[in-house]
Homo-oligomer: A and B are copies of this chain.
């Protein structure tokens, strides 16, 4: 049952008189349930509770945190039917998409549960003492990563499960030992509450401290602003627009004690197509990219927004085919009228540049929430002149940039801001594909793809989902994959510490049997290493 209330730790609460409803974009009507925005008192309570819970939670052995994460995934599986129902009504997305996202969310939780048992994420390093070193003895130093404190996670509009309530940010923060205060996304507050309830049940069943998780509703930005400025909060995870992410980053940087913000703000994900590939495969590529541009109504942060190639007959054939393909795909509704409006505003912004030609004509306006599929094109020269054309247009649209030669392609790449991804479509022996172009693209991105599509973010240790600003606020970390746990950890060194006061991870006996670096050698050994 969805109550519309906030979870302040394990207590349902609705202090405030401010309320709102979610929206069914497919039916183009509001849903019934009334949600109550978190009050100042509820914000204060939940953060204080998180701070108290942190002191206990950070001491909970990693093996028990692992059980907690697995329990969350079990609880989610049990309510998958309920999740599908509310998810579809709040997003207009299909049941299949919901189930795929739920599976990914569950797998993310499980991968962190596994990581916790494996232990290498703590980067344990031990340098033993050298008592007779001159001029002074070398002390015993032992270092490991420790949780940073309570984390605020903002739910994302476009992934109500995988990047929201029990999504990657929450799973990695809980795995790290950080309590989470979830700022639920107002577009899918019902899905959020169901998932939050599952986390709360899991926390209770596995005896986690109360306050390890809270879920706060909000209609506008106020709750988020107050959370980012709250002194108990030690870090923030966010997935969304550049405008939203930057606002949060600015607030966090201006605090008396600034805190890190990991905002993944999307990008235009440039795709470079090389001549030989285009010649032989233009039709297949057009088909593949028509799908990649329109999947999820283009509401993916890895959507290919810019496609770059060389002026040629083959590029023209590709463009014509892409227009044909994309017009043959039925539009699917966007998440919310506001998102559709932003999409249209983004297109209008591009239209201001009279050098851009719009090639798609069709507008299957099923209702207000169904977007046009849009392909537009511009020369490299005009593209480079107008920074406006680089702004992400969140939706099923792509701008095709036509270069005269290799140097112009290099100029296009160098003119671009930071990106989540960059893609190269080429045969390896294409004479236009130089190491210089690859290097230039690599400097701009977090992930570089060869002969694929940028949409689809594999969850594995080698994934980087992030990139130079404005793709993310901190390019040194990934928002996806097990390495994302590093965002919520900081190193602490113990000098000449007695064994009984050391964390288990640092004890000679290696009671957790984890991988450690001892005097520079990676090992899972126990104290035999200390008897030299």
Contact B258 A448 (CB under 8 A): no
Stretch of A75-83, A159-167, A212-220, A483-491 on the interface side: A483-491
Contact A497 B143 (CB under 8 A): no
Contact A490 B463 (CB under 8 A): no
Which chain B residues border A492 with CB–CB below 8 Å? 442, 445-448, 464
Stretch of A40-48, A267-275, A279-287, A468-476 on the interface side: A468-476
A456 to B474, CA, bound (A): 32
Flag whether A139 is at the interface (Cβ < 8 A).
yes
**Which residue of chain B has its CB nearest to the CB of A442?**
B492
Contact B143 A260 (CB under 8 A): no
**Which residue of chain B has its CB nearest to the CB of A438?**
B501
Contact A142 B462 (CB under 8 A): yes
Stretch of A65-73, A179-187, A360-368, A515-523 on the interface side: A515-523
Which residues 106-129 of A sit at the B interface, judged by CB distance below 8 A?
118, 125-127
Contact A143 B439 (CB under 8 A): no
Contact B501 A458 (CB under 8 A): no
Contact A461 B125 (CB under 8 A): yes
Closest-CB distance, A489 to chain B (whole angstroms)? 7
| Residues 475-509 of chain A, each 1 if its beta carbon lies under 8 Å from chain B, else 0 | 11110000100100111111111101100000000
Flag whether A18 is at the interface (Cβ < 8 A).
no
Flag whether A330 is at the interface (Cβ < 8 A).
no
Contact A476 B249 (CB under 8 A): no
Which chain B residues border A418 with CB–CB below 8 Å? 257
Contact B491 A452 (CB under 8 A): no
Flag whether A428 is at the interface (Cβ < 8 A).
yes
Starting from the known contacts A428-B501, A463-B493, A477-B491, 15 additional A-B residue pairs (CB-CB under 8 Å) come to: A125-B461, A127-B458, A127-B460, A141-B458, A142-B462, A143-B462, A146-B442, A148-B475, A249-B258, A250-B253, A446-B493, A448-B495, A450-B495, A451-B496, A476-B491
> Which 7 A-B pairs rank lowest in CB-CB distance, beginning with the nearest?
A253-B253, A141-B462, A143-B462, A464-B493, A449-B495, A447-B493, A475-B490
18 contacts between A and B (CB under 8 A): A59-B439, A100-B135, A118-B520, A125-B461, A141-B460, A148-B476, A257-B417, A435-B501, A446-B490, A448-B494, A450-B494, A450-B498, A458-B495, A462-B493, A464-B491, A476-B490, A478-B491, A522-B522
